[in-house]
């Protein structure tokens, strides 16, 4: 087939592709990761590009683009294919959410609440490094090289047996002799055995890193952990590049069915590799010094990471290929750390409650608490764990990503430029921007605030509909009404909340609340029996509890009961990386937790419908009665870099 | 670099190589495996080829070829490189020993003595196949596919846990649904865990094969084992193609140092793959139905198989990379069985006493015998085990391959056309040829007979030198005297024993005898304390004990004490394949056996010198005093194909 050359502007990236290749794919091949909510169905309009030169096929005739846009050469990349050499501009809006988060932004993803974890785990990293000075062989002391190393390493780390894989075996004789038999062994803890992964010359035990990863449907976060002092050296985050195949897991499963799981796998593996390179490079760490990686994510993300088939997760009875994948060599799936470094996946609970929740239970110690505790993790889905040291129930509610700031027109990640707080001061609607820059968009916490403020000021009614003439900032483009929070006149971008955005947010909060209510009722309790409520996940680091209750997202509990615990997915992964005891505990947690399928619940639809109002059809459920000591804001201070974590001793 | 095209005759195989490539390598690339004793040093003269057309470089000027040969275009392939397009003939002598053994011949390698093994092992194959009919998942029975299979498989085979590797994991959802959840699981027994290797649709448990391999320095033998009825379906053998890099392990290690271990590895892997294809194809077995392979060989052969560095084995203090390699995926080294089939290597005892001897100890039950027992395994080296249920001592004597029929001018494997027996009848020297064909060469047992006959008839003296005028068949070519056993006039080839051959045989037998004597003396015993003497290895299936004692190869023990036990290397490997209990026992044997280094013995050289006579300087050691019931011949009947082996129950 004929090929042609494409240049993407403004980054000036060239790529040669076959005629007929879609623009989205071409951009991906050029290394440009783009946004797409619908997964290439031509309905979300997120993937606008501008044809500057050269012919393309399709793209304009979808009914989403205005005539003006079409006359400007704007096309939907997912509906457009390449006809010949061309120059294509990718506007800021199409790209912006996909840039890698800077260190400053990533800090926000690093937020973990050190006080939450109840129990301490023995320090026993999944990969151990130990320096060995071996006796040189003689005619009388002539055991084979591998045995010499294995025996010494077993003594040094206190294990009874150790196996060496073929790759390490080949190195051993050379490394021993080139280094006067002074070497450092890397030992991996597999489920039933230990493996000698690597042998380096000299004493390199002082440099030992592992990576822990939270694979969210929207956001991928990597922490680089110094195994020796157990600190998080640095962190990095980016949007999950799979977004090009859809915002939600279902769209991605459908994309995998059409285009192959390998495509989805390549995207997430590339994201992780990019984040690893960035975070390691910035801290003078070689990738080869990273001897293991622990990934925590929902079941579908874990499947894509490993390249496992997902199609049966999507259809009743929703069966995963595996929710407890074995440790692998990271290289087997293309993760670029030490070539024989290990990859561990945190075990999940069911097809719809993944390893990120197992991590959450471990990190919050929910499974060891006497008092009944609820953990709500809102990411692209909303997962809820209810239980205590005696029983645990898990469920998953399909929310869409609105509460993360995605599937909202001006939504963005809780990074620099995001409006994270909206409030009323002197009867004026005011806002706060992360990084004190001009606004670029609005993140989850800001959206919740804004909705509460709009409700408070009767700009929207209890069904979320704009009230005509209620406020000058309410305007209409065609049939679509929106509230313009910032008009873009001071730099940055216009930030508005549309009627459709509000519907998305209400749907999301209704799904979460209905699920929480059903869970509590299923065990014959009421919300007042819930002693702790932990909020985890992609909300943004700060959330106004009063506003969250006001819009009916959270149940009406005293502020002292509600804690924002940050990214417990990555916190659990870090505990596992530093302690095989913690990973073992995760396997136990996974077995002790019962999955409750909301679709099997008769009253879920009914409860959901009741929650589709602000805050709820039953207003009594949300009568705010805060005591004076209640702080409006629940949150936590981002963990400073290089702070020792006390949970592993 | 310029390339040119070579055609090898008479097989008419073409290959394109770079100008300057050696003829040996070119032939190897054309898929023709050749013989070379010296490993390409230009001293053995085994690799003669005839240049029929086109120029070559070098080859003629080594002093080994006669002027007549040079005028005929004969060159030494190892000293010749390609200059341009050429046609090269490979004479029969250069090729013949390398042909794959036919089934009829391979039968001889299959010889194992069923009665020898003392104990029975529990049937517990290293790879098990079990058919499972699983419940189809429902909303209430919704465990992940991998868990469903793992739980059912654990129940079916009675194990507590099972892990699934990434490759099998990817298959599971598809295989389950395409086969109505009726599947067959292949489960591999690793050292500390079990792995789900493969999942096939339907019930395929009726077809389950493993391969067992004896990797000898000279000969490679593959048995195809039906795991279900524990029979050997068929066998196949060939010369080890590494011979092109030298007859002895030391030459091959040097070749690996020069040309890379990968070259040596490729040759043995190719040999095994060729044998596997042949034996499987002939019996209607698909390679994918072979789910595991157990290899038994000396330590250097095992290193080459796995691609491990060997250079430190060759130099004091003679250290192996590993003598207990872990189980691997056979695919990791290119062995073509089921893509996720396992490869096990029988653990060795030291750098110079390998897994073939561990196999031998297990197969003969030496380690469980009350009486002191000696096992002599003569292949390209001579290894000796002395011991009983309380102690075991192992040593290795460097013999050269003369007793296998190699490093003897007309020597050949104990196959069709080999003179296997030489005797005196009516004062005439007579012989017996395997397959009753015209003689093509002489194998180990024939050589031992011939030497005894020549000594008996005073054709050679006690130092092995030809006695002038003693027999008309003694003739001389230049300085080299030889005894012409068959003149080639009735078809086949001339078979002679040269003065140099005799020296090689005497050196070999002296090395074995001196080692055996030192071993016995080291534990303050004498030969009369040895209750059983087992002979294993490449002697050929039949050996005349009287003659072996007459030439001083074996100590003078009653015939009833000496048993030829055949290929115990492969027999041990088969026991391991069918019973993980047997493999565990091998690990125990390996730990219980002490390696005794003959080079560390003060009197080895002295003992060796004394044994360099026929039979020995001390004739009293060999005064034959056979009772009437002694049979001259010790040997065993080849095990019939498809005979159930009783040792595994």
Q: Which residue has the higher pLDDT, B61 or A540?
A: B61
- The backbone torsions φ and ψ at residue B220, rounded to the nearest 5 degrees and listed phi first, read -115, 125
For residue A609, pLDDT beyond 90: yes
A583 and A538, same structural domain?
yes
Residues of chain A neighbouring B307 (CB-CB closer than 8 A): 166, 170
CATH number of the domain residue B138 falls in:
3.10.20.880
How far is it, in rounded angstroms, from Cα A222 to Cα A13?
27
Distance from CA of B526 to the nearest CA of A (A): 26
- pLDDT computed for residue A218 by the predictor: 84
Q: pLDDT of A20-29, one tens digit each?
A: 888 877 886 7
Across the range A303-330, mean pLDDT stands at 96
Interface mutation vs chain A, best among B160, B166, B310, most A CBs within 10 Å: B166
Provide the pLDDT confidence category of residue A630 given band limits of 50, 70 and 90: very low
- pLDDT score for B107: 39
**Predicted confidence (pLDDT) per residue in A47-95, tens digit:** 788 999 888 887 655 567 878 888 888 888 878 888 889 999 988 766 6
On the question of pLDDT at B637 being above 60, the answer is no
Give a yes or no: residue A596 inside a domain: yes
Please name the residues between 394 and 453 in chain A that touch chain B, using a CB distance below 8 Å.
none
Cβ contact A144–B309 (<8 Å) = no
Query: Does residue A197 contact residue A189 with C-beta atoms inside 8 Å?
Result: no
Min Cα separation A87/chain B (Å): 40
Residue B412 lies in a domain: yes
Greater confidence (B215 vs A639) lies with: B215
Test B317 with A139 for CB contact under 8 angstroms: yes
DSSP E strands in B111-263: the ranges are 127-133, 163-164, 182-189, 194-201, 209-215, 219-226, 231-239
Above 0.85 for ipTM, yes or no?
no
pTM of the predicted protein model: 0.82
- Ramachandran angles phi, psi of B8, nearest 5°: -100, 130
Are B173 and A309 an interchain contact pair (Cβ–Cβ within 8 Å)?
yes
pLDDT value at B36 more than 60: no
Closest CA to B327 of B297, B298, B357, B293: B293
Q: Does B146 touch chain A (CB under 8 A)?
A: yes
Q: What is the pLDDT of residue A23?
A: 85
Same domain, A54 and A173: no
Question: Do A324 and B192 count as a contact with CB atoms less than 8 A apart?
Answer: no
pLDDT at B238: 82
**Same domain as A221, residue A323:** yes
> Based on the domain organization, do B252 and B359 belong to the same domain?
no
Residue of B143, B165, B173, B174 to mutate when probing chain A, most A C-beta within 10 A: B173
**Strands B231-239 and B219-226: what pairing?**
antiparallel
pLDDT of residue B72: 86
Rounded average pLDDT over B344-369? 96
Which of A145, A322, A599 comes nearest B144 by C-beta? Answer: A322
- Indicate whether A493 and A530 sit together in one domain: no
Is B282 inside any structural domain?
Answer: yes
- Which three-class secondary structure string do you get for B225-256? EECCCCEEEEEEEEECHHHHHCCCHHHHHHHH
Report how far residue B444's alpha carbon sits from residue B505's, in angstroms, rounded to the nearest whole number. 10
Residue from A165, A172, A188, A308 to probe the interface with B (highest B Cβ count within 10 Å): A308
Nearest CA in chain B to A170: B308
285-344 in chain A: CB under 8 A from chain B: 306-309, 311-312, 316-326, 328, 332-333
Query: Do residue B317 and residue A161 have CB atoms under 8 angstroms apart?
Result: no
Count of residues making up chain A: 649
| B147: nearest CA partner in chain A | A322
Residues of B in contact with A329 (CB under 8 A): none
A144 touches chain B (CB under 8 A): yes
Instruction: Give the pLDDT score at B625.
Output: 54
Confidence band of B31 (pLDDT split at 50, 70, 90): low
Q: Does any CB of chain B come closer than 8 Å to the CB of residue A135?
A: no
Regarding whether A448 and A382 lie in a shared domain, the answer is no
Nearest to B326 among A165, A177, A328 (CB): A165
The pLDDT value recorded for residue A98 is 37
Contacts of A141 in chain B (CB under 8 A): 317
Highest mean pLDDT of the ranges A129-133, A314-318, A380-384: A129-133
Residue appearing with tokens 């309790």: A525
Distance to chain B for A361, nearest Cα, Å: 20
pLDDT surpasses 70 at B177:
yes
Residue A120 forms part of a structural domain: no
Residue B71 in this model has a pLDDT that exceeds 90? no
Q: pLDDT exceeding 90 applies to what percent of chain A? A: 59
pLDDT of B106 strictly over 80: no
From A277, A101, A269, A216, select the one nearest A567 (Cα to Cα): A216
What does the pLDDT read at residue B540?
46
Structure tokens at B468: 């002038």
The reply to whether B194 and B268 lie within a common domain is no
Residue B512 lies in a domain: no
Q: Is A191 on the interface with B (CB under 8 A)?
A: yes
Strands A342-345 and A290-297: what pairing?
A: parallel
| pLDDT tens digits, one per residue of B380-405 | 789 999 999 999 999 999 887 778 77
Domain of residue B246, CATH code: 3.30.420.480
Query: Residue A441 pairs with which residues in a beta bridge?
Result: A418
- Closest residue in B to A333 (Cα) is B166
Of A584-588, B241-245, B307-311, B592-596, the one with minimum mean pLDDT is B241-245
Handedness of CA B158, B162, B165, B168 (dihedral sign): positive
Torsion on CA atoms B328, B334, B340, B346, rounded to nearest 10:
-30
Residues of A within 8 A of B142 (CB-CB) are: 317-319, 350-351, 595, 597
Q: Kindly report, residue by residue over A475-522, the tens digit of the pLDDT.
A: 988 888 999 999 999 988 899 999 999 999 999 999 999 999 999 999
CB contact under 8 A, B170 and A309: yes
3-class state of residue B168 by DSSP: helix
Q: How far apart are CA B232 and CA B223, in angstroms?
A: 6
Judged by phi (left if over 0) then psi (alpha if -120 to 50, else beta), residue A540 lies in left
User: Where is the domain boundary, B98, B117, B142?
Assistant: B98
φ and ψ at residue A347, rounded to 5 degrees: -65, 145
Per-residue pLDDT at A59? 62
Strand partners, A7: A14, A87
CA–CA separation, A61 vs A463, rounded Å? 34
Q: Is B595 on the interface with A (CB under 8 A)?
A: yes
* SS3 state at A632: coil
Whether A137 contacts chain B with CB within 8 A: yes
C-alpha distance from residue A627 to each of A199, A296, A526, A631, A644 (Å): 60, 38, 21, 9, 35
Asked if A144 and B322 come within 8 Å (Cβ–Cβ), the reply is: yes
On whether both A238 and A338 belong to a single domain, the answer is yes
Query: Inter-chain contact A312–B145, Cβ cutoff 8 Å?
Result: yes
Residue A109 has pLDDT above 80, yes or no: no
Helix A355-364 to helix A580-592 angle (10° resolution) is 110
pLDDT of residue A25: 76
**Coil, strand or helix: which one is B282?**
helix
Q: Which DSSP string corresponds to A159-198?
A: -S--EE-HHHHHHHHHHHHHTTTEEEEEEEE-SSSEEEEE
Contacts of A169 in chain B (CB under 8 A): 306, 308, 321-322, 325
Probe site for chain A from B169, B176, B327, B334 (most A CB atoms < 10 A): B169
Boundary-marking domain end, from A169, A201, A233: A201
Least CB–CB distance from A309: residue in B174, B312, B595: B174
| Secondary structure tally for chain A: helices H, strands E | 17, 31
- Asked if the structure places residue B624 within a domain, the reply is no
Question: Do B197 and B217 belong to one domain?
Answer: no
Query: What backbone phi and psi angles, to 5 degrees, belong to B284?
Result: 65, 25
Print the domain residue range for B491.
402-505
- Among the ranges A107-111, A638-642, B21-25, B228-232, which has the highest mean pLDDT value? B228-232
Instruction: Decide: A222 and A236 in contact? Cβ < 8 Å.
Output: yes
What pLDDT, on a 0 to 100 scale, did the predictor assign at position B25?
76
Asked whether residue A447 falls in the same domain as residue A499, the answer is: yes
Check residue A562 and give its pLDDT. Answer: 87
Alpha helices in B405-498 (DSSP H): 444-456
* Residue B117 banded pLDDT, cuts 50, 70, 90: low
| Residue B351 contacts A, CB cutoff 8 Å | yes
Last residue of a domain, one of A174, A201, A228: A201
Whether A639 shows a pLDDT value over 50: the answer reads: no
Say what the alpha-carbon torsion angle B16, B17, B18, B21 is, to the nearest 10 degrees: -150
pLDDT given for residue A69 in this prediction: 83
Residue B369 falls inside a structural domain: yes
What is the Cα–Cα distance from B381 to A99, expressed in whole angstroms?
66
| 8 Å CB contact of A317 and B600 | no
Q: Is the pLDDT of residue A38 over 80?
A: no
How many CB pairs below 8 A link A and B? 151
Contact call for B170 and A308, based on CB within 8 A: yes
- From the list A166, A169, A322, the residue facing B146 with the nearest CB is A322
Q: Does B160 touch chain A (CB under 8 A)?
A: no
Q: Is the pLDDT of residue B103 over 70?
A: no
Q: Does A170 touch chain B (CB under 8 A)?
A: yes
Question: In this structure, is the dihedral angle defined by the CA atoms of residues B316, B322, B324 and B330, taken in order, positive or negative?
Answer: negative
pLDDT tens track for A242-276: 988 888 899 999 999 999 999 999 999 999 999 99
From B173, B174, B326, residue closest to A164, measured CB to CB = B326
Q: Which pLDDT value is given to residue B46?
A: 67
Contact B555, B513 (CB under 8 A): yes
Domain-located, residue A106: no
* Per-residue confidence (pLDDT) for residue B109, from 0 to 100: 36
Helices within A307-354 (DSSP H only): 311-314
At which residue do the structure tokens 């080890």 appear?
Answer: B240
**Is the distance from CB of A202 to CB of A609 less than 8 angstroms?**
no
CB proximity B142 to A under 8 Å: yes
The rounded distance, in Å, linking the Cα atoms of A542 and A562 is 12
pLDDT confidence bin for A644, thresholds 50/70/90: very low
Average pLDDT on B262-274 reads: 95
Lowest mean pLDDT among A167-171, A239-243, A635-639, A644-648: A635-639
Contacts of A321 in chain B (CB under 8 A): 144-146, 169-170, 172-173
In this structure, of A79-93, B121-135, B150-164, the range with the lowest mean pLDDT score is A79-93
Which of B139, B163, B169 lies nearest to residue A191, judging by beta carbons? Answer: B163
What is the Cα–Cα distance from B384 to A3, expressed in whole angstroms? 69
| Helix or strand holding residue B633 (H, E) | strand B633-634
pLDDT of residue A81: 86
Domain count for chain A: 5
Tens digits of per-residue pLDDT, A162-209? 999 999 999 999 999 999 999 999 999 999 899 999 999 999 999 999
Distances (CA, A) of A50 to A65, A80, A91, A102, A464: 12, 11, 7, 27, 35
pLDDT one-digit tens code per residue, B575-630: 999 999 999 999 999 999 999 999 878 899 999 999 999 999 988 888 755 444 44
Determine how β-strand A194-201 pairs with β-strand A182-189.
antiparallel
How many helices (H) does chain B have, and how many strands (E)?
17, 31
Whether residue B578 contacts residue B648, with contact meaning beta carbons closer than 8 Å, is answered with yes
Q: Domain with B24 in it: what CATH number? A: 3.10.20.30
Percent of chain A predicted with pLDDT > 70: 87
- What pLDDT does A145 receive? 98
Do B313 and B411 fall within a single domain?
A: no
Pick B326's closest partner by Cβ from A163, A309, A318.
A163
Residue with tokens 């230990």: A194
Which of B125, B297, B301, B129 is closest to B198 using CA atoms? Answer: B129
B529 and B573 assigned to the same domain: yes
The helix-helix angle for B568-578 and B580-592 (nearest 10°) equals 130
> Within 13 Å, how many C-alpha atoms sit on residue B362's CB side?
36
Q: Pick from A548, A423, A417, A401: which is nearest to A495 by CA?
A: A417
CB atoms under 10 Å from CB of A646, counted, come to 11
Mention every residue, 6+ apart, whose C-beta is less than 8 A from residue B88: B6, B7, B8, B9, B23, B27, B49, B50, B51, B52, B56
Q: Do B145 and A319 touch (CB under 8 A)?
A: yes
Give the pLDDT confidence score for residue A398 in this predicted structure: 86
């Amino acid at each position: 087939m004929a090929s042609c050359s494409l240049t993407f502007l403004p980054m000036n990236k060239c790529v040669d592709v076959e005629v007929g290749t879609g623009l989205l794919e071409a951009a991906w091949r050029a290394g440009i990761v783009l946004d797409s909510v619908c997964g290439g169905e031509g309905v979300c309009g997120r993937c606008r590009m501008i044809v500057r030169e050269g012919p393309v096929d399709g793209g304009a005739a979808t009914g989403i683009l205005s005539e003006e846009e079409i006359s400007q050469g704007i096309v939907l990349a997912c509906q457009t294919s390449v006809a010949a050499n061309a120059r294509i501009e990718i506007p800021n809006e199409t790209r912006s959410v996909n840039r890698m988060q800077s260190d400053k932004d990533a800090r926000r993803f690093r937020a973990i609440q050190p006080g939450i974890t109840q129990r301490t785990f023995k320090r026993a990293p999944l990969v151990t490094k130990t320096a060995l000075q071996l006796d040189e062989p003689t005619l009388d002391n002539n055991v084979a090289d591998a045995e010499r190393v294995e025996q010494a390493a077993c003594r040094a780390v206190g294990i009874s047996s150790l196996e060496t894989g073929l790759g390490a075996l080949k190195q051993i004789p050379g490394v021993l002799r080139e280094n006067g038999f002074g070497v450092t062994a890397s030992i991996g803890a597999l489920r039933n055995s230990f493996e000698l992964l690597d042998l380096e010359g000299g004493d390199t035990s002082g440099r030992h890193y592992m990576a822990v990863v939270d694979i969210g449907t929207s956001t991928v976060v990597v922490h680089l952990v110094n195994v020796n002092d157990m600190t998080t050296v640095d962190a990095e985050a980016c949007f999950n590049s799979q977004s090009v195949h859809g915002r939600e897991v279902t769209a991605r499963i459908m994309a995998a069915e059409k285009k192959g799981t390998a495509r989805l796998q390549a995207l997430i593996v590339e994201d992780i590799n990019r984040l690893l390179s960035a975070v390691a490079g910035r801290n003078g760490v070689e990738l080869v010094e990273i001897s293991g990686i622990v990934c925590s994510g929902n079941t579908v993300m874990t499947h894509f990471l490993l390249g496992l088939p997902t199609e049966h997760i999507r259809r009743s009875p929703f069966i995963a290929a595996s929710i407890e994948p074995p440790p692998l060599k990271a290289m087997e799936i293309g993760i670029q750390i030490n070539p024989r470094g290990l990859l561990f996946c945190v075990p999940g609970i069911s097809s719809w409650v993944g390893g990120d929740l197992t991590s959450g239970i471990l990190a919050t110690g929910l499974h060891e608490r006497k008092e009944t505790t609820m953990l709500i993790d809102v990411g692209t889905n909303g997962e809820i764990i209810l239980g205590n040291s005696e029983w645990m129930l898990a469920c998953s509610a399909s929310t869409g990503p609105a509460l993360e700031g995605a599937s909202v027109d001006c939504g963005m990640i809780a990074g620099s430029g995001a409006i994270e707080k909206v409030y009323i001061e002197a009867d004026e609607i005011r806002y706060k921007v992360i990084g004190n820059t001009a606004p670029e968009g609005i993140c989850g916490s800001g959206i919740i605030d804004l909705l509460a403020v709009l409700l408070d000021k009767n700009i929207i009614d209890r069904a979320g509909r704009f009230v005509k003439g209620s406020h000058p900032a309410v305007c209409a483009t065609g049939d679509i009404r929106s509230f313009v929070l910032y008009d873009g006149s001071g730099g940055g971008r216009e930030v508005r909340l549309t009627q459709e955005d509000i519907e998305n947010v209400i749907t999301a909060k209704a799904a979460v609340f209905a699920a929480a209510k059903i869970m509590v009722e299923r065990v014959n309790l009421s919300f007042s029996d819930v002693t702790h409520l932990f909020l985890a996940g992609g909300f943004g680091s700060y959330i106004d509890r009063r506003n969250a209750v006001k819009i009916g997202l959270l149940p009406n509990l005293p502020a002292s009961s509600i804690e924002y615990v940050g990214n417990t997915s990555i916190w659990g992964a870090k505990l596992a990386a530093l302690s095989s005891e913690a990973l073992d505990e995760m396997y136990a947690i996974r077995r002790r937790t019962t999955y409750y399928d909301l679709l099997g619940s008769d009253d879920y639809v009914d409860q959901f419908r009741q929650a589709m109002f602000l805050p709820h059809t039953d207003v009594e459920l949300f009568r705010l009665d805060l005591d004076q000591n209640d702080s409006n804001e629940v949150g936590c201070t981002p963990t400073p870099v290089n702070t020792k974590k006390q949970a592993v001793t």
